[in-house]
Amino acid sequence: MAKKEKKQPRPKAVAPRGFRDSFGAEVETRRTMLSKIAEVYHSYGFDPLETSAIETVEALGSFLPDVDRPNEGVFGFQDDDESWIALRYDLTAPLARVAAQYRLDLPSPYRRYAMGPVWRNEKPGPGRFREFWQCDADTVGTSTVAADAEICGMLAAALEHAGIARDQFLVRVNNRKVMNGVLETANLMGDDKAAQRGITMRAIDKLDRLGEDGVRALLGAGRKDESGAFTDGANLVAEQVDIIMGFVCAERADGAATCARLRELVGSSETGAEGVNELEEIAMLLDAQGYGPERIKIDPSVVRGLGYYTGPVYEAELTFEVVDEKGQKRQFGSVAGGGRYDDLVKRFTGQQVPATGVSIGVDRLLAALTASGKVETGNTQGPVVILALDPSRMAHYQSMCAALRNAGVRTEVFMGGGKNMGKQLKYADKRAAPLAIIEGGDEAERGVVQIKDLVLGSKLAEEIESNEEWKAQPAQREVASGDVVSTVLGMLAR
């Protein structure tokens, strides 16, 4: 007896863990938001750049672990020549490669913006995906802090143009050199102090969440949270803690006063004094552009990625409140950040190439616009749908469709087959169609069409079973065949 062949199991129709699908309304909303940001970047003289989704592991550099298989943090695999390649981790590493590869052809400084997905091989969680979008703008090839000030001003303008109200965001600016000067004054520099420095900077970054007392505890022996969990501290002595806390709380009424206080804190540190000078210049340049402290301010508590950045750093946070998953009100928080990174291109050329830039978290900003009521996801208007009630008249329906498209109206002919009006109207409803156009045999003989305003219609499409019921609807109009385009344009305009 022949052995029965075992059936192969069907594949599960699920997205890979940590990945998701985006449908019409979300895609359209994101595209609209990014186009508004691109308008601002373009107005500042920045050019678009698109790079490959895949880079060599050498180009991704510091994001790869020092192991034989570069698969932690990035999605890496071997090419057929056994070289390692990987999906890009961000949009900055590809820019560094481009700046090095085309350095003889590109203008210097090179100003570019880029938008697209990036991939990180990290553990996914609620709201944390392995694929997400970024929107970057960078200037490569200039060391002047005027470029940093310009990026900050451009970021503020982009957020506002995208739909965030002027009083709902704040761009905060600090400087890696100032932080280094304070660390030097507190005797926290040197390789043997690396662990303490790391804990210190992470503690400062939690100021908004933990407050001064919480940060002070983390700078000392450590802190126990509400759940009873204990976090080890930096174990700094009281004098060191006072210096760091003085830096964290150095913000004053305006940029000039804040910089004056920072100058006191860095003491005799040349690096710290250089950082304060740069902050003073940035504040002056921003003021000249009309950006006061209500939109962009000097804030010493900004410590983002200080191991990566070499000078000014900046972060944009949204200041309006939202209700979190626990039902508690909280400030929305950060949606963008960046700074000066003068060492990244050096990996390719051996020569230091100054650069500064910012990255907007696209999904975060989109969520913020939704939370603030600036976009309504799921309500994107679909196309006008022409019902195909008589298959023999498909060419005529397509001709009508072409006339509407030529007039700038998004239009489609129902392609699902059959003559059932209810089925076709149900389809138009699912497509969020604003109008449905009906021309059956009776209408064709009389040279007219029926146009149904589905936005105003009170009945669901599946409840309509006949032409008679359809014609009885109050949102329906009968017009001459030659007046279809002008009537549709008028109804859509309303």
Q: pLDDT tens, 167-203? A: 999 999 999 999 999 999 999 998 899 899 989 988 9
- Which residues are bridge partners to 48 per DSSP? 113
CATH number of 384-493: 3.40.50.800
Residue 304 to residues 74, 415, 493, Cα–Cα distance (Å): 21, 53, 48
The long-range contacts involving 70-77, CB below 8 angstroms and separated by at least 24 positions, are 71/121, 72/121, 73/120, 73/121, 73/122, 74/119, 74/120, 74/121, 75/119, 75/121, 75/130, 76/121
Concatenated DSSP letters for 45-100?
Answer: TPEE----SEEEHHHHGGGS-SSSS--SBS-EEE-TTS-EEEE-S-SHHHHHHHHH
Domain boundaries, the chain: 24-371, 384-493
Q: Return the pLDDT at 139.
A: 97
* Distance (Å, whole) CA 186 – CA 249: 15
Q: 259-301: per-residue pLDDT in tens?
A: 999 999 898 999 999 999 999 999 999 999 999 899 999 999 8
pLDDT score for 48 = 98
The two three-digit tokens of residue 377, written as one number: 């996801």
DSSP 8-state secondary structure symbol assigned to residue 311: S
Kindly list the averaged pLDDT for each block of 10 residues, start to end, along the chain of length 494.
74 91 89 96 98 90 50 81 90 94 95 96 84 96 96 97 94 93 91 90 86 92 88 93 91 88 91 95 93 92 76 94 72 91 84 94 91 68 94 94 96 93 93 94 93 73 57 77 95 88
> Which DSSP category does 8 fall into?
P
Gap between the Cα atoms of 281 and 338, Å rounded: 18
| Whole-number pLDDT of residue 128 | 81
pLDDT at 288: 92
Write down the CATH number for the domain with range 24-371: 3.30.930.10
Tokens 């007046």 found at: 483
What pLDDT is recorded for position 64? 47
Non-local CB neighbours of 39 within 8 Å, separated by 6+ positions: 161
